[in-house]
Amino acid sequence: MSTRASHTTDHTDNSAKLNKNERFIYQDDDAIEKPFNWSQMARLFHYMKPYKKQLIPVFASMVIGTLTRLGIPALFIWAIDDAIQPEGKSASIPLLFTYAGIMLALYILQWASNNYRIKHINIIGQKVIYDLRHHVFSHIQKLSFRFYDKRPAGSVLVRITNDVNALQDLFTNGVVNLMMDCVQLVGIVIILLIWNFKLGLAVMITVPLMFVVSTSLRKRIRFAWQDVRMKQSRINSHLNESIQGMKVTQAYVQEKDNYKFFEHMNTVNVKAWNKASAMNQAFGPIIELTSALGTLILFWYGSYLIQHDVITIGLLVGFANYIGNFWDPINRLGQMYNQLLIAMASSERIFEFIDEKPTVGELEQAKELPPIRGDVQFDSIVFEYEAGRPALKGISLNVKAGQSIALVGHTGSGKSTIINLLCRFYDPVQGRVLIDGQDIRDISTASLRSQVGIVLQDTFIFSGTIRDNIRYGRLDATDAEIVAAATAVHAHDFIMNLPDGYDTQVEERGNVLSMGQRQLLSFARALLADPRVLILDEATASIDTETELKIQEALKTLLAGRTSFMIAHRLSTIRHADQIVVLDHGVIMEQGTHDELLAKGGIYYGLIDAQYRFLSA
Ligand SMILES: Nc1ncnc2c1ncn2[C@@H]1O[C@H](COP(=O)(O)OP(=O)(O)OP(=O)(O)O)[C@@H](O)[C@H]1O
C-alpha cells in the first residue's frame, strides 16, 4: 500500500495528480469493486458449508419472519372488513379482539424469529470470517520469499484485515437479508396483484422510476465513497511510512514539510467525505418522494375504486400497509448490490493470495532430515531473482562439518543470496545444495530449517518479554536453559540490569535495546536452538570495543563445533574463519584462509587494505 510509484492509478481523482506539496505518490491498492462473478461467489460461500446444519434453523426463522410480515397486513384487511365495517352487519368487537389477538401473536412470532435469525447468523458469520482469516494467515506463512519480494508488507496486512473484514457484512446479514427481501418483494407483488390486479399495478407504477433513480444515484454514491476510501488508504499509507521513518524525518528536520503534506491529504479526505455524505443525504428524500408518489396513487385510485364499490376500505388500508413494506427491501437490495461488488473485489484479492503456490514447494515424498553432521556442498549453483539477471553464476563450494566460512565481497556480490539458498528460501535455477550429501530439495523444509539456524543482522525482537524472545529459538526450553544460553553468550549481565530482568517487556523490533544487546539476544536464541549449521549475518554497525569483545567471545561459544557461514564485516571475525570466500558479481573470485589470501595480494588483500586505511585515517 505504501509503495511510492511514479504514477497514480486513481481515475476518479484529479486532485491526486501531483500537487506541488506532494513529494510522494501512493499507489492505490487494486480496485475497490469488481463486477459480479458467480463462480467466485460460489467459492466464497463454500466457507459456509461446514455450518450447513446451523444454517437450517436460521433459514426456517427467516421464512417464519417473512410469512408473518406478509400476513399481518392481511389481518388488517379482514379486521376492518369483517369486524369493524362488515357489509350489511354491525361491528363485532369479539371478532376484532380475535383478529387483534392473532395479530399480537404474529408480531411476537415475528420478533422471536428475527431475534433468533440475527443472533445465529451473526455467530455463523463470525465463524466463517474466523475460518477465512485463519486460512489466509496459515497460507501466507507457507509462501516463499519470492511472494514477499513482490509485495509491500502493508498490502499483505490490508488483505488479512480490511479485505476479510469487508466480507463480514456479507456473511452475517447480507445473504439472509437478500433472501428475505427478495421473498418479501415477490410475496407482496403476488398478494397485491391477486387482491386487486389493477390497483396493484397502479401502485407499482413508480417501481421502475424508483429503480432508475436508485441505481443511478447509488452508483454515484458508491463512487464517492470509493473516493473517500482511496483517500483514507493514502492517509494510512502516509501515516505508516511517517511513523516508520520518524527518525529520518526528525534527523533531516522535515517535520514542517511532512505536516504540510499530511494536512493536504487530510483536507482532501474531508472534502471527499463531505461530498459523499451530501449525496447520501439526498438519497433518503428521493426514496421517500417516490414512495409518497406510490401512496398518492394508491389513495387517489383506491378511493375511486371504493366509490365504485370495487374494493373495500379494509383492502385500501391493507394495500397501504403492504406498500409501506415494499420500499424498504428495494432500498436494501440497492445497498446489498453495492456490498456485493465490494465483496467481489475483496474476495478476488484474498483468493489471489490463497491461490499463490509456494515457489519453494515440498515434494510429497520429502524425507525428514535425520540429525546431521553438518557437511555442506554448493554444486554449480546458478540463481536469479529476476529472469535474465543472475545473482549467482556457477557457485561451487565444499564445506566440511564444523568449519567456519566467512563470505566477503562488495555490496550486491551475492553473499545473502548464498545464505538464502542454504535455508531454502529460494531454489536454485541450476545446480544443487547438499547437506550431508542430500539434496535439500528432497527433504522437508521444516526438518531442514530446524537444523540450520540463522542469526540476521537486523535481529527481530517480538513483543513480549526478554525470556519469550530467547525462547523463540526452542519453545520447550526451560527457564534454566534460557539463562544458561544467555550466560554463555554474555547476555546475562545486561539482562539482569534491565528493570525486570528476563521478564522485561520489549516491544516489536526491540527499540529499547541497543544494537549490541539485540545481537547478543539473538545469539542466545540461536544457541538455545542448537543447530548443526549456523548462518550469521554480522551487523555492520560500529559498536564499542567492549561490546565488540563480548560479541567475539559470544561468537566463539556459539560457533564451537558447528558448521558456520558468516557474512562477515569485522576483521576480527574474518581472520579466524577456516575458509574465506570472496565473491564478486555472483562469482567466487578467491578462496582460502586469511593468511593465504593476504599472501595472494588479490581482491581480499584490497578489501583488508581498504579497511585498515579507513580505520587508521
Ligand atoms: N529480493 C530480490 N529481488 C531481486 N533482486 C535481488 C533481491 N535480493 C537481492 N537481489 C539482487 O541480487 C544481487 C545479490 O544480492 P545479495 O543480497 O546477495 O548481495 P550481498 O552481497 O548480500 O549484498 P550486501 O552486502 O549489500 O547485503 C544484487 O544484485 C541484488 O540487487
Going 302 to 308 to 309 to 310, the CA torsion angle's sign is negative
Answer yes or no: is the ipTM higher than 0.90: yes
Q: Model confidence over 249-275: pLDDT tens digits? A: 888 888 888 888 889 889 999 998 899
Q: Model confidence over 534-574: pLDDT tens digits? A: 888 876 555 566 777 777 777 788 788 889 998 877 777 78
Is residue 535 within 8 A of residue 526, CB to CB? The reply is no
| pLDDT of 543 | 59
Sheet with 430-435, strands from edge to edge, namely 389-399, 376-386, 430-435, 438-439
Ligand 1 atom at shortest distance from the alpha carbon of 409: 21
The 10 Å Cβ neighbour count of residue 518 is: 22
The C-alpha cell 500537487 sits at: 19
Give the C-alpha separation, 511 to 373, whole Å: 37
| pLDDT of 510 | 54
Backbone φ and ψ of 86, nearest 5°: -70, 145
The 10 Å Cβ neighbour count of residue 614 is: 8
Amino acid at 453: G
The 10 Å Cβ neighbour count of residue 238 is: 19
Instruction: Output the pTM of the full model.
Output: 0.67
Amino acid at 296: L
Give the mutation target among 148, 417, 581, 588 for probing the ligand 1 site: most ligand atoms within 8 A of CB.
417
Residue nearest ligand 1's atom 29 by CA:
412
| pLDDT of 554 | 78
Q: Model confidence over 514-528: pLDDT tens digits? A: 878 888 888 888 888
Buried b / exposed e over 243-262, threshold 16 CB at 10 Å, is eeeeeebeeeeeeeebeebe
Residue 223 scores a pLDDT above 50: yes
Residue nearest ligand 1's atom 30 by CA:
412
Ligand 1 atom at shortest distance from the alpha carbon of 586: 14
| pLDDT of 5 | 35
Residue 593 scores a pLDDT above 60: yes
SS3 567: strand
**Which contacts of 240-244 are long-range, i.e. CB under 8 A and separated by 24 or more positions?**
240/1, 240/2, 240/154, 241/2, 241/24
CA of 410 to the centre of ligand 1 (A): 11
391 lines ligand 1 (CB under 6 A): yes
Ligand 1 atom at shortest distance from the alpha carbon of 420: 18
**And the C-alpha cell for 406?**
566467512
Q: Model confidence over 294-344: pLDDT tens digits? A: 889 989 999 998 888 888 888 888 888 888 888 788 777 777 777 777 788
Rounded to the nearest integer, the mean pLDDT of the chain is 82
| pLDDT of 288 | 79
Give the mutation target among 415, 540, 565, 603 for probing the ligand 1 site: most ligand atoms within 8 A of CB.
415
| pLDDT of 596 | 92
CA of 401 to the centre of ligand 1 (A): 27
Nearest Cα to Cα of residue 416 among 575, 604, 568: 568
| pLDDT of 101 | 92
Ligand 1 atom at shortest distance from the alpha carbon of 386: 4
| pLDDT of 225 | 78
**And the C-alpha cell for 513?**
535495546
| pLDDT of 608 | 81
| pLDDT of 155 | 65
Residue nearest ligand 1's atom 2 by CA:
385
Q: Model confidence over 21-66: pLDDT tens digits? A: 445 544 555 555 667 778 888 888 899 899 999 989 999 999 999 8
Nearest Cα to Cα of residue 238 among 226, 223, 254: 254
> Could you give the domains of the chain?
38-355 (1.20.1560.10), 364-451+532-617 (3.40.50.300), 459-530 (3.40.50.300)
| pLDDT of 571 | 72
Give the C-alpha separation, 273 to 235, whole Å: 13
Sequence-separated (6 or more) residues with CB below 8 Å from residue 305: 196, 198, 199, 311
Residue 375 scores a pLDDT above 90: yes
pLDDT-based confidence at 6, cuts 50/70/90? very low
DSSP 371: S
Nearest Cα to Cα of residue 406 among 588, 561, 544: 588
| Radius of gyration in angstroms for the set of CA atoms belonging to the chain, rounded to a whole number | 35
Is residue 552 within 8 A of residue 562, CB to CB? The reply is no
SS3 413: coil
Residue 2 scores a pLDDT above 50: no
Is residue 48 within 8 A of residue 55, CB to CB? The reply is yes
